[in-house]
Amino acid sequence: MKIAVVGTGYVGLVSGTCFAETGNHVTCIDIDAQKVEKLASGIITIYEPGLEKIFIRNLNEKRLDFTTHLEAGIKDAQIIFLALPTPPGEDGSADLKYILGVADQLGRILNGYKVIVDKSTVPVGTAEKVKTTIATNYKGEFDVVSNPEFLREGVAVDDFMKPDRVVIGTNSEKARKIMGELYAPYVRQGNPVIFMDEKSAELTKYAANSFLATKISFMNEIAQLCEKLGADVDMVRRGIGSDERIGKRFLFPGIGYGGSCFPKDVQALIKSAEQAQYDFKILKAVETVNENQKLHLLPKIKNYFQGKLAGKHFALWGLAFKPNTDDIREAPALYIIKALLAEGAIITAFDPEAMHNVQQQIGNAIQYAKDQYDALQNADALIIATEWNEFRTPDFDEMIKRMNHQTIFDGRNLFEVKTMHDKGFYYESIGRP
């Protein structure tokens, strides 16, 4: 098939590349000429494990190309994916200006039947708005479909190529047939393509992310209660996670969730509920718990240093909101940095992928280390904010040599409490004695 993908951000670039990988011809369109030039010359603009290899292969085999020209890019396409930003507005609702702006342009340039697909995470009713916007200027036949993405940063290529499910919202038999053919190569193992109406598909995306965010915040509340009662959250997690109705995933306590999806989607669903005159109490609590959890380590740190953080030197391992990405949107590490700097602390950070993004955002307010051990030099304490695999089995003897004090505040529970105490570390984590 010939496909156009409008938007070359995270979702657009992963989707376009993975569609090309199964033999489709994909044209990716973006207004950022500098980004398009980089991509067309083989320079990938995001960090995602496994993506670069198939990106280069499909670029070389002429199945993937890039342009800034919308009309030329969509001219021969059977399907047009809209993978555009939906940032939160001032009131928390998803801002649809980019999607509706492109829809307006499409209405002026469509040259025959096409399936226009909302791939971005959008509020319920967006497909109708897109259809109305296009129809204002285009009187020919077309369909608008909702096809939400369920990509996890760090494993997005696997998620796309072998999805748990594909959700397609359409009431058009013609669009249903085309979308079914497009996704057939990705569900050969029998995972379902679930067809539904557009509104249900739009809500499914928000419901999925909000439920996962709820599990995280619930477990962080349990961790806080464990600290009050002297219980061990790891034992509780294993006890409840073995129940197949609950499952083992998203039960690991920590310093909150971040990224481009969960915070924005929870906020947007709360706002959508308000607009429908429904008070979504659980999600409001999820959001509040998460905001507080990002700074859960701060009282522990202040208590240890008797409230005197000015001049103290902290090593920080991890800046990305999660491992295997360079995404720092709503990253708990940034909240910790801001709070410590306000207390007059000095911070030296290391992250395998996200340091450049942090430096672009906050400049040289902190120091950046060449590796995880360099960050520890003369540190009064180590704070762990992201659970990168390379942090899980460090050289503890090297750590002891480098640090002023053998003190660790672990926001991701990477190490066993007894092991750390046996090695002579003062060690505090989340929800464990």
pLDDT of residue 273: 95
18 classed as catalytic: no
pLDDT of residue 84: 96
pLDDT of residue 82: 98
Task: For residues 84 and 90, give the distance between their C-alpha atoms in angstroms, rounded to a whole number.
Answer: 19
Q: Retrieve residue 46's tokens.
A: 């995001």
- Phi/psi for 3 (5° steps) reads -130, 140
- In DSSP terms, 6 is beta-bridged to 29, 82
pLDDT of residue 128: 97
Query: What percentage of the chain exceeds 90 in pLDDT?
Result: 97
The whole-model pTM stands at 0.92
Tens of pLDDT, residue by residue over 298-333, are 999 999 999 999 999 999 999 999 999 999 999 999
Task: For residues 262 and 247, give the distance between their C-alpha atoms in angstroms, rounded to a whole number.
Answer: 19
With CA atoms as reference, report the closest residue to 324 among 272, 249, 390. Answer: 390
pLDDT of residue 92: 80
pLDDT at position 1 over 90 = yes
pLDDT at position 91 over 90 = no
How large is the average pLDDT for residues 227-255? 97
pLDDT of residue 148: 96
pLDDT of residue 316: 98
* 87 band by pLDDT with thresholds 50, 70 and 90: confident
What's the mean per-residue pLDDT of the chain?
96
How large is the average pLDDT for residues 161-172? 97
pLDDT of residue 72: 96
pLDDT at position 129 over 90 = yes
Task: For residues 4 and 59, give the distance between their C-alpha atoms in angstroms, rounded to a whole number.
Answer: 15
Q: Retrieve residue 375's tokens.
A: 């960050």
Tens of pLDDT, residue by residue over 363-401, are 999 999 999 999 999 999 999 999 999 999 999 999 999
pLDDT at position 94 over 90 = no
Given 18, 28, 226, 261, the catalytic residue:
261
Task: For residues 212 and 252, give the distance between their C-alpha atoms in angstroms, rounded to a whole number.
Answer: 12
pLDDT of residue 381: 98
Q: Are 417 and 427 in contact (CB under 8 A)?
A: yes
Helices first, then strands: H and E counts in the chain: 17, 14
Tens of pLDDT, residue by residue over 410-421, are 999 999 999 999
